[in-house]
Amino acid sequence: MKKYALTALLLITGTSNAALITSSTDPVLTGSSLVNFDGTLTQSAPSLTFGDITFSTTGGTLRIEPFGVGGSGWMGSGQTLTTRLTSSPSSFSIDFSTTVSAFGMNWGAANPNWNVDLFDTSNTLLESIVFVGGNGGATFSEFYGASNSGIARAVFASTSGFDWIIIDDFQYVTDMTNGSVTVPEPMSVALLGVGLAGIGFSRKKKTA
């Protein structure tokens, strides 16, 4: 059932960007930074920041607590992030101070499916995907994430009323194409090579 649910999900999200990530070893997460919440004091707050990432909600609180506390044993270890949401439908967001090209996390305890909207720095919708919940045929412990160019914000909302989830081992990859480092495209490299060759030929001819 799980296999068919994920296959259907891939068809729904489309193949243009192949945004859905279902494995922590997905190649798009190569070189990712990790936030595992370990070393963070047990606490509750509407917004929590960890380096370049801010988790926030307007309907309830976010809580850092030990794995297994309050039924949070669906996925993770050490300290975990629990969404103690009271609004219906439940929702929260993740903001990145520097745009990312991919992110993923251990995602546990979700009952319904969750809609995930990805936005760029101009708050333009890049893509919408779905994290399948236990009621949709997936297990209650999954690895989910998304990839796209220039992700600045991700907004999560349950598709069926109230729900709370567990997040742990959050991974993200800084989007180098939108940062200070630009990797030349193959065509650009080729044109640069032709230009340099032309300059060398011109100098050689002038010398002759």
pLDDT band (50, 70, 90) for residue 94: very high
Higher local confidence (pLDDT), 164 or 72: 164
Q: What is the pLDDT of residue 204?
A: 45
Q: Where are the domains of the chain?
A: 2-174, 182-208
Other C-beta atoms within 10 Å of 199: how many?
A: 10
Mean pLDDT of 113-122: 97
Helix (H, G, I), strand (E, B) or coil at 99: strand
| Average pLDDT value for residue range 195-204 | 48
Residue written as token pair 């720095």? 121
Mean pLDDT of 140-168: 94
Instruction: Count Cβ neighbours within 10 Å for each residue of 51-73 and write b for 16 or more, e otherwise.
Output: eebebebebbbbbbbbbeeeebb
Residue 137 DSSP class: T
Buried b / exposed e along 87-98 (16+ C-beta atoms within 10 A): eebbbbbbbbeb
Q: Is the pLDDT of residue 194 over 90?
A: no
Arithmetic mean of pLDDT, 68-96? 81
Give the integer Cα–Cα distance in Å for 173 and 175.
6
The residue with greater pLDDT, 135 or 60, is: 135
Q: What is the DSSP letter of 78?
A: S
Residue 53 has pLDDT above 50, yes or no: yes
Q: Is the dihedral of CA 149, 154, 155, 158 positive or negative?
A: positive
Output the pLDDT for position 1. 44
83 has a pLDDT exceeding 90: no
Percent of the chain at pLDDT > 70 equals 73
Q: What's domain 2-174's architecture?
A: Sandwich (2.60)
Q: What is the dihedral of CA 157, 161, 167, 172, to 10 degrees?
A: -10
Mean pLDDT of 140-165: 94
Arithmetic mean of pLDDT, 157-171: 92
10 Å CB burial of residue 21 (0-12, 13-18, 19+) is buried
Q: Which pLDDT score is estimated for 77? A: 85
Position with higher pLDDT, 50 vs 189: 50
DSSP state of 164: -
CA–CA separation, 168 and 164 (whole Å): 14
How much is the mean pLDDT over the chain?
81
- Residue 50 pairs in a beta bridge with 53
The pLDDT value given to residue 125 = 97
Per-residue pLDDT at 73 = 65
Q: How many whole angstroms separate alpha carbon 152 and alpha carbon 166?
A: 22
The pLDDT tens digits for 14-38 are 334 558 999 999 999 999 999 999 9
